[in-house]
Structure formats: structure tokens, C-alpha cells
């Protein structure tokens, strides 16, 4: 038996001090996530300005606790001052290409917390399915979900996700991507999508949202009124990517409209026309917005506090795009090198790790406009059977 005490005084309490708690509020882009952790003999102290920092500190603390061969839990003496480099650290999940059961989303939120992610970008609907149960337009999910009984997110499900996320300091930013990526909206909202034409006759297929009808904007207003109320975050993601102009071009009423408006043959102008009206709707609802980079690339008039989401890799090099976006005065989010759905053999985590988001030519104000980035797990080949090992 040894007389030597290998450990210091056992610690039984971690004191958590938060200057301005805000425990009942929602995290935001401006939330303070800094914390100080002080571990010494007989004293464990975690202090933070806001509860969000306390959460980050708790996460760190939980990771510092080790266990020796005898089963004794221990922690090293340490002083930590920590805060995030970027305020927007997000993860995108796609619940339209494949439905993800609630449990899978909640599990993901847990692992996000382990990794100090603070934004859940919910790409909730798209071409293949519309699982979001809308109370304003119940037909959308009734007709558009893979299965209206089993493959939907009810209002309760959505609230569960938002609260579960909040308790982990994670913002939920919903994306209702338009005018492209909307095929699943069609069945539940007749007249919303553009009917494509084959010569003089409708072909029976549909394209992006029809930008020339007033009913479209009435619909969008009502839908986003609901979405703005359901999702408490200040920001909504409005999509705006990959709009295929073929269907618009085939539709005679749209051609007539183009002439009327003096847009000539430039369908980007029509796209801008739609987006601008949509952005006005969202603004009038008191929300801010994030858009995919095409909206910026196509010279749509954007509010100065728009956030542009850079995702294209085979276009201009993404760092160049980051420079352009921030130079034009907009804030930027980086996802291009972080499309984790694009799997490959070997230790591809290294390529993701080595990305330096600020490696472009620009002045300090520009670089400040890079608010962070998102790892994206698009759902074409992903469902609950393989989500976790593919993402983490």
C-alpha cells in the first residue's frame, strides 16, 4: 500500500457563472459564445457572458474529464479562455431527397453540440418530397410528401426540433428553396408551378414556380407568414439555386410577359424579378434572409444585410466568389469545399480541415463579412441507415 496520494482534493462541483443569462431566449448570430474555464485544486469554475458560452464551456469540460485504469475520474489542472473564430458554424441536412425520422435529426443535434456547431440548416423541402406539414396549406404535404402519414414533420415535430436545438445553443434556419427545386410543391398547390409547353400545347410537366402570376405572390406571402411564425430565428434561407429556364422559355404566357417587361431573352432578369418580390415579402415579415450564390451572381437587387451562401466548386474558384461577395458588401457563408455527401476513399477529413475560409485577397472589413460556413449532407444517397457514419 502506498501512502502517496496520486490525486489532489476531489472536486464535487462545477460552478457555472453566467453574466447575462437569457436562458429563455433563442440563440442568434450575435450570441456571445465565449467562456472561461478554470480548473485547479478544489475549484472548478466556468464563467461566460451568456448562457450560450456556458453551454460551449460545459461541452469542453465534459471532454476534459478522463478515467484511469482504476476507474477514477480525473481532470487536469487547466486555464482555458475560449471563443469561436466564426459565429455561424452550421450543418445542412436534407429531408426532402430522403425523409429523416425525428430521432435521426435529434441525434444529429446532439453530435453537433459535441462539435460546437451552432446552426442547423434544415433543407426541409425540395423536388422529390414536401414533408413539412403546413397549417395554411395542408395539401402541400398531403400531396407532396413521400407518405402523408409516415413521412411528414408535424407542427409538434418542428417545435421539438427547434426546442431541442435551442437547449444546445443551436439555431434552426429553415430553407424553403424557390423558384427551382419545387416540383413537390405542385401537387398540393395547383397553379403554383409553371406548366411547360411542347410547341403550342402543355406537355403535362412542370417547371419552377410561375413568376408572372399574382396568385404566386399571394401564396408566398401566406406561406412565409406561417414559416416566419413557426421558425423563431431572424434568418430564413430562401434558396434561389439552380433555376432551369427551359420550362419558362417554353411557356407562351411567360414569353409574352418577358416582352411586356422588356427583359428581352435574358431569363435571369425574370428570375431576379421573382426573387426581388420574394425578398420584399420576407423583409416585410421582419425576417432576414440567406440565399445561394446564384442570386448574387445573377445581379439580383439584395438588401445590404443579405447573407450569400457560396457553394459552387466547379464554377469560379470558391475563394474568388467569397472575395466578390464580400467586396460587394454582403456577408458570406462558405460551403463549397464542405459537401460531405461527396464521399471518397481514405482520410478525406484532411481536405476539409485544411480549408482556410479567409484565403482570398481583400481588406479586413471584407474578411469580417465572412461569418462562417456550413458542412452539407445532401440527401440523394443518404437516409437514416447511413447518415451518422457518413456525416461523422
Stretch that binds another protein, among 138-146, 179-187, 309-317, 378-386 (CB under 8 A): 378-386
The answer to the question of residue 391 lying near another protein (CB under 8 A) is: no
- Min dist. Cβ of residue 108 to another protein (A): 15
Angle at 13 between CA 7 and CA 16, to 5 degrees: 130
# residues contacting another protein (CB under 8 A): 13
The answer to the question of residue 222 lying near another protein (CB under 8 A) is: no
- Min dist. Cβ of residue 126 to another protein (A): 18
Dist. CA 208–CA 249, nearest whole Å: 11
Please state whether beta strands 88-94 and 193-198 pair in parallel, antiparallel, or not at all (unpaired). unpaired
The answer to the question of residue 381 lying near another protein (CB under 8 A) is: yes
> How many other CB atoms sit within 10 Å of the CB of residue 255?
14
Residues in the chain: 392
The answer to the question of residue 77 lying near another protein (CB under 8 A) is: no
Footprint of another protein on residues 285-344 (CB under 8 A)?
341-344
Sign, Cα dihedral of 287, 288, 292, 298: positive
Quote the crossing angle between the two packed helices 51-64 and 102-114, to the nearest 10°.
80
Distance of CA 201 to the CA centre of its chain: 40
Dist. CA 209–CA 240, nearest whole Å: 11
Helices (H), 79-193: 102-114, 139-144, 155-166
Between residues 40 and 386, which has the closer beta carbon with respect to another protein? 386
Between residues 305 and 348, which has the closer beta carbon with respect to another protein? 348
**Cell (9 digits) for 144:** 407532396
What phi and psi, each to the nearest 5 degrees, are found at residue 276? -60, -45
Q: Which residues are catalytic?
A: 242
- Min dist. Cβ of residue 387 to another protein (A): 9
- Min dist. Cβ of residue 111 to another protein (A): 12
Between residues 276 and 341, which has the closer beta carbon with respect to another protein? 341
- Min dist. Cβ of residue 151 to another protein (A): 14
**Interface pick for another protein out of 1, 190, 345, 350 (rule CB under 8 A):** 345
The answer to the question of residue 115 lying near another protein (CB under 8 A) is: no
Between residues 13 and 345, which has the closer beta carbon with respect to another protein? 345
DSSP 338: G
What phi and psi, each to the nearest 5 degrees, are found at residue 364? -55, -35
The answer to the question of residue 389 lying near another protein (CB under 8 A) is: yes
Determine contact, residues 314/249, Cβ cutoff 8 Å: no
The answer to the question of residue 203 lying near another protein (CB under 8 A) is: no
**What is the contact surface with another protein in residues (CB under 8 A)?**
341-347, 381, 385-386, 388-390
Amino acid at each position: 500500500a502506498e501512502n502517496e496520494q496520486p490525486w489532489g482534493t476531489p472536486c464535487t462541483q462545477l460552478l457555472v457563472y453566467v453574466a447575462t443569462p437569457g436562458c429563455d431566449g433563442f440563440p442568434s448570430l450575435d450570441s456571445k459564445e465565449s467562456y472561461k474555464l478554470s480548473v485547479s485544486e478544489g475549484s472548478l469554475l466556468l464563467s461566460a457572458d451568456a448562457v450560450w458560452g456556458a453551454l460551449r464551456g460545459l461541452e469542453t469540460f465534459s471532454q476534459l474529464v478522463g478515467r484511469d485504469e482504476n476507474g477514477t475520474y480525473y481532470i487536469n489542472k487547466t486555464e482555458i479562455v475560449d471563443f469561436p473564430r466564426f459565429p455561424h458554424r452550421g450543418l445542412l441536412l436534407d429531408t426532402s431527397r430522403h425523409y429523416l425520422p425525428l430521432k435521426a435529426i435529434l441525434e444529429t443535434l446532439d453530435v453537433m453540440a459535441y462539435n460546437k456547431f451552432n446552426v442547423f440548416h434544415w433543407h426541409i423541402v425540395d423536388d422529390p418530397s414536401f414533408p413539412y406539414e403546413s397549417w395554411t396549406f395542408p395539401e402541400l404535404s398531403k400531396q407532396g410528401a413521400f407518405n402523408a402519414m409516415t413521412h411528414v414533420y408535424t407542427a409538434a415535430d418542428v417545435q421539438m426540433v427547434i426546442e431541442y436545438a435551442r437547449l444546445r445553443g443551436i439555431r434552426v434556419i429553415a430553407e424553403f428553396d424557390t423558384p427551382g427545386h419545387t416540383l413537390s410543391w405542385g401537387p398540393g398547390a395547383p397553379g403554383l408551378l409553371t406548366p411547360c409547353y411542347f410547341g403550342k400545347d402543355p406537355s403535362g410537366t412542370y417547371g419552377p414556380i410561375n413568376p408572372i402570376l399574382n396568385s404566386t405572390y399571394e401564396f408566398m406571402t401566406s406561406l412565409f407568414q406561417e414559416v416566419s411564425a413557426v421558425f423563431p430565428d431572424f434568418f430564413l434561407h430562401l434558396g434561389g439555386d439552380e433555376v432551369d429556364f427551359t420550362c419558362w422559355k417554353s411557356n407562351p404566357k411567360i414569353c409574352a410577359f418577358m416582352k411586356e417587361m422588356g427583359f428581352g431573352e435574358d431569363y435571369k432578369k425574370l428570375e431576379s424579378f421573382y426573387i426581388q418580390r420574394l425578398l420584399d415579402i420576407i423583409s416585410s415579415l421582419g425576417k432576414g434572409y440567406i440565399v445561394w450564390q446564384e442570386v448574387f451572381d445573377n445581379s439580383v437587387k439584395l438588401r445590404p444585410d443579405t447573407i450569400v451562401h457560396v457553394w459552387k466548386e466547379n464554377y469560379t474558384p470558391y475563394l474568388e466568389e467569397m472575395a466578390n461577395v464580400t467586396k460587394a458588401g454582403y456577408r458570406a457563408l462558405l460551403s463549397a469545399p464542405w459537401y460531405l455527401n461527396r464521399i471518397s476513399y481514405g482520410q478525406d477529413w484532411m481536405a476539409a480541415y485544411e480549408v482556410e475560409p479567409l484565403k482570398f485577397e481583400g481588406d479586413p472589413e471584407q474578411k469580417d463579412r465572412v461569418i462562417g460556413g456550413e458542412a452539407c449532407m445532401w440527401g440523394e444517397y443518404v437516409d437514416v441507415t447511413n447518415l451518422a457514419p457518413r456525416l461523422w
